[in-house]
Amino acid sequence: KYATVLALLLVVVLAVGCVQLGDKDENDKRTITTTGNAQIKVQPDIAIVYVTVETNGKTSAASTGNNSNIVDKVYAALYKLNVPRENIVTEYFNTNEDFDWTDGGRKSLGFKTSHSLRVKTEKFTDIGNIIDAAVGAGATRIDNVNFDLSDSKKKELKKQALADASKDAREKAEAIASGAGTTLGDIMSISDATYDYQPYPVFRNVMAADEAVSAAKTEISPQTLDVTASVQVVYEMG
């Protein structure tokens, strides 16, 4: 009886030992870890003009009503330039009461309404006309003009940048393996580290109406955008 129990215990110990030995061998594999990087320079395919209309009124209704009238005129002016309705969206809207806090008290100065529009165009030659039309219709200022990428272009470039980064990671790993006198084995893991790009702003600061009109008369040309990506890859040594 005791001999049988001891034999069973011995089998269990040997089995556990085999499992541990297998795990150790797996963890002790020699690996090469590299980070691949890619940068793509590309021309933007859309431009975004940010237009703001600000109005004041003694009451909230008066302020928002005045604002709505001017915004309607801005829309109408943009429609005349054949800007599609779906290319004009509200970026920000707010109405709040202004106060004068001098002399230790609070005095109402009425209500202020701000309505910011995001106007997209694929025709860069229309940027100046959009600025001119918006300001001419009563817009208070042009907040910014950005050169950007359309969603379809972003998707296309993301795939390309990640593929290029993966290729760069493999080239680095092959060079390391060659220098170390070994070969490159299978991929053990791969992860997307970063993907990024920044729109190119033409105007970083807010432009008042008169400055915007002057800018509208100047031809605005885009610069290239940088699309970057990086991946981290772990290879087994051959």
Q: What pTM does this model have?
A: 0.73
- How do the pLDDT tens digits run along the chain, 238 residues long? 545 544 444 443 333 333 333 333 445 689 999 999 999 999 999 999 999 999 999 999 999 999 999 999 999 999 999 999 999 999 999 999 988 888 777 888 899 999 999 999 999 989 989 999 999 999 999 998 989 999 999 999 999 999 999 999 999 999 999 999 999 999 999 987 788 888 877 765 556 767 766 666 656 677 889 999 999 999 999 8
Question: Are 120 and 87 within 8 A, CB to CB?
Answer: yes
* Separation of alpha carbons 181 and 40, rounded Å: 33
Q: What is the per-residue pLDDT for 105? A: 77
Q: At what angle do helices 209-216 and 127-136 cross, to 10 degrees?
A: 150
